[in-house]
Structure 1
Amino acid sequence: VITAAVRTLAEHAFARGVPRIGLHADVENVPSQQVALRCGFAPEGVQRGAGVPRGGASADVALFGRLSTDPGDPIPPFLPFFPGGFPGGSLTDGVVRLTPLTAADAADYFALASVPDVMDSHVPPVQPEFADCEVVCRHAGHRWLTGQRADIAIRDAATGEFAGDIQLTGVVPPLGQAMLGYCLRPEFRGRGLVTRAVDLLVEWAFANTPLRRIVAGTNPGNTASHRVLERAGFVREHLVKGLLPGPGGTRLDDIQWARTRP
């Protein structure tokens, strides 16, 4: 109903000479942003702290716009949500379950990012701030919907417990390429959960998105991550010398891997 109302009012305004209409939505209000895309409003960024105050701080606002010269056709998301939509959709193989990251995951996400070996693998390798982790979680739905990245929680399928996270980032639509990243809480390691999560996500991506190639990068010494990628069907392509920032101003090499759509 609201999609029909927005589309009708927009056409009415354009027919009377209005050159542009803006649509603003709370960055966490994914349903309103879905209406914007269905009505042909293109994403135009996020304004920090521009919304109605919530919990002592002003909310961030997602911006969309449509010009009178735009066709107004629905804009399909480059990365559709998992079956069941956002935030309740998921993928599972019965052992792990992948769910979209949400604001409710902020504390778990921060704790994971603060694990020393996880910190060391981040770019740059520094102690995270809780506020930054909270922004990642609060903006996850918007960034997924607008094709920027998909941030996903890895959960124990039996208990629902937060075990780690996995992401598709660096999305380049013209190339049909995205980058894979992942990390796991220490107490969940050694059970093959990451390999299962990688398989689930990559198979979903190749079946449901235009992505044709998913790449990943690893530290040459991270043999555990190498084994995960090999088991998940990734092929080692090349070594890039000094690509990654390391601790104390050092630079680290990066082994790059890829898996392509069959």
Structure 2
Amino acid sequence: MIKRIRVIGVGTGDPGHVTGEAARALASVDVFLVLGLAAEPGDAVAARRALCDALVPADRRYRFVEVTGPRRGPDEEPGETAYGEGEGAGAGAGEAGWVPAWVDACAQAVGGLADQESTVGFLVWGDAVLDDPTLRVVDGLAERFATQGTTVENDVVAGVSPASVLAARHRISLGRNGAPVHITTGRRLVDEFDVGLGEVLVLLDEHLACAALVDAFPDLELFWGAYLGSPDELLVRGRLADVIDEVQRVRAEARRRRGWIADTYLLRQPGDAPTPPHAGPAHLPFPDVATWEPLTDGVVTVRPLTAEDWPVLLAESNNEESLRWGFDGRPLTEAEARHKTAEAGREWRRGRVARFVIVDAASGAGAGVLMVARMGPPGIGVVGYGIVPDFRGRGFTSRALTLVCGWVFAHTDIQRLELGHKVGNVASGKAAERAGFTREGILVGRLPNPDGTRSDEVSYFLLRPQS
């Protein structure tokens, strides 16, 4: 009767890459379930059995059961089983359907266990913690048995990841000089690639999508490896434009020879290469908040918005006046307010949006919010603001605008600030004009209303002072 399920990361195929913890876990398993996938090479069971034969004590009895189920997501093609993705990788649009189907198939297999077989194991190539689909299948199994009155313990044993082996083989570090490491798949690589992501590690790529980046990013460094940890290990490294043909040739030959390919690669910007003008972070970061000095005129104080300021955002958003001039008329939830304020620091660091809280200098109470977002052509900042009802009519908006606009022109690359309001929102326009903004015109039908109609927008601008 089943009592325990273990998900065990077994490295990239070399028994020497199986950790001591994973080896001990192997020796505790009575039945290993192997999900029989069309995407797996034909020797999938044999490869797992060879690992166990090498590492499990000879007197320990165990067996393998192959489970058949649905194909997985759209990343997969015949022969695609990348390191670290083992039993359930490649989840995509059909994932919601195939996870329950795999749970059904595995539950049926477990139902055939002998009385003395109590521990079931799943062997995951690479690192088990990178195999989210398998972990969810296991969670589904545990939940299934719980509803039947059986408590099944389950745990995950980490393994040596393909990223670690790839970096070691090429004698490089991951995250050079503190750069971030972005993990993705070939299916998503081209759409989301940006040198601002840092180093990009691709774990699932049946069609070598990085070839589509050659024209735009020829100077990227490519560190490629296949069959890592096996006697057939293949390695190629170099400038992307220079080595992509070689990688494609080596890959094709290996696939013809073995019938399948398991590879991974890392892309990084060379240390001496300039950042392409159209790549990288879309904007310069705003000045570090660690060096921030509060802006104040003695009546209002303005400082960067923090996660603790969510009640101010909630109060400013959910009053009758704000909802009247809003786009959809839907109140902001507390969860949404908490999320937006928690995200403010990340947006600030990325240079996309600088969010501020307006504080009543006398009482220290939060009086409103203000933001400057980089949108449209380079050098343009779009301003938005709102005041909590208790502080309206006291000139807080224009005071805060004056302080923030002065800071923007003194400390950022923004050359022109823009703002707008719906026709009829007279108070907003007066506040903008008192802060020095000039009315520019009417944008017809630009802003949506809660009832599905559209309103004209009155637009304003403020230019950087000429020295």
Q: If the length of structure 2 is used for normalisation, what is the TM-score?
A: 0.41
Answer whether contact 2:325 2:425 (CA < 8 A) is retained. no
Query: Is 1:79 matched with 2:79?
Result: no
**Aligned-partner Cα distance in 1 for 2:295–2:335:** 28
- Superposition deviation, residue 175 in structure 1: 2.0
Query: Is 1:195 matched with 2:398?
Result: yes
Measured against aligned partners, the alpha-carbon deviations of 1:124-159 in whole angstroms (never above 9, x if no partner) come to 432212222111100101101111101110001122
Answer whether contact 1:78 1:147 (CA < 8 A) is retained. yes
Helix, strand or coil at the partner of 1:248: coil
- Superposition deviation, residue 111 in structure 1: 2.1
Query: Is 1:104 matched with 2:259?
Result: no
**Aligned-partner Cα distance in 2 for 1:83–1:136:** 20
The AA in structure 1 aligned to 2:459 is Q
Answer whether contact 1:83 1:91 (CA < 8 A) is retained. no
Q: Which runs of 5+ in 2 are unaligned?
A: 1-166, 182-194, 199-265, 275-280
State the percentage of identical aligned residues. Answer: 33
Helix, strand or coil at the partner of 1:175: coil
- Superposition deviation, residue 123 in structure 1: 3.4
Measured against aligned partners, the alpha-carbon deviations of 1:183-212 in whole angstroms (never above 9, x if no partner) come to 111111111111110000001100110000
**Aligned-partner Cα distance in 2 for 1:176–1:148:** 12
Query: Is 1:42 matched with 2:196?
Result: yes
**Aligned-partner Cα distance in 1 for 2:367–2:267:** 41
- Superposition deviation, residue 167 in structure 1: 0.6
Query: Is 1:152 matched with 2:374?
Result: no
Question: What is the aligned length?
Answer: 212
Answer whether contact 1:18 1:68 (CA < 8 A) is retained. no
Tell me the residue number matched to 2:455.
252
After the TM superposition, which residues 121-136 of structure 1 pair with which residues of structure 2 at under 5 Å, given as runs? 121-136=325-340
**Aligned-partner Cα distance in 1 for 2:295–2:349:** 17
Tell me the residue number matched to 1:216.
419
Specify which structure has the bigger relative contact order, considering alpha-carbon pairs within 8 angstroms and separated by 6 or more residues: 1
Helix, strand or coil at the partner of 1:221: coil
Tell me the residue number matched to 2:436.
233
RMSD, aligned α-carbons: 3.1
The AA in structure 1 aligned to 2:396 is L
**Aligned-partner Cα distance in 1 for 2:370–2:462:** 16
**Aligned-partner Cα distance in 1 for 2:328–2:267:** 37
The AA in structure 2 aligned to 1:220 is V
Helix, strand or coil at the partner of 2:180: strand
Query: Is 1:178 matched with 2:415?
Result: no
Residue 111 to residue 68, structure 1, CA distance change in 2 (3 Å): same
Residue 108 to residue 92, structure 1, CA distance change in 2 (3 Å): same
Query: Is 1:67 matched with 2:274?
Result: no
- Superposition deviation, residue 177 in structure 1: 0.5
Residue 17 to residue 84, structure 1, CA distance change in 2 (3 Å): closer
- Superposition deviation, residue 23 in structure 1: 2.6
The AA in structure 2 aligned to 1:240 is L
**Aligned-partner Cα distance in 1 for 2:378–2:269:** 30
Residue 16 to residue 204, structure 1, CA distance change in 2 (3 Å): same
Answer whether contact 2:441 2:460 (CA < 8 A) is retained. yes
Residue 43 to residue 98, structure 1, CA distance change in 2 (3 Å): farther
Q: Which runs of 5+ in 1 are unaligned?
A: 1-11, 25-40, 45-64
Report which of the two has the higher share of strand.
1
Residue 68 to residue 253, structure 1, CA distance change in 2 (3 Å): closer
Measured against aligned partners, the alpha-carbon deviations of 1:22-67 in whole angstroms (never above 9, x if no partner) come to 637xxxxxxxxxxxxxxxx8357xxxxxxxxxxxxxxxxxxxx982
The AA in structure 2 aligned to 1:160 is G
After the TM superposition, which residues 23-42 of structure 1 pair with which residues of structure 2 at under 5 Å, given as runs? 23=180, 42=196
**Aligned-partner Cα distance in 1 for 2:197–2:339:** 18
Helix, strand or coil at the partner of 2:375: strand
- Superposition deviation, residue 77 in structure 1: 4.2
Helix, strand or coil at the partner of 2:447: strand
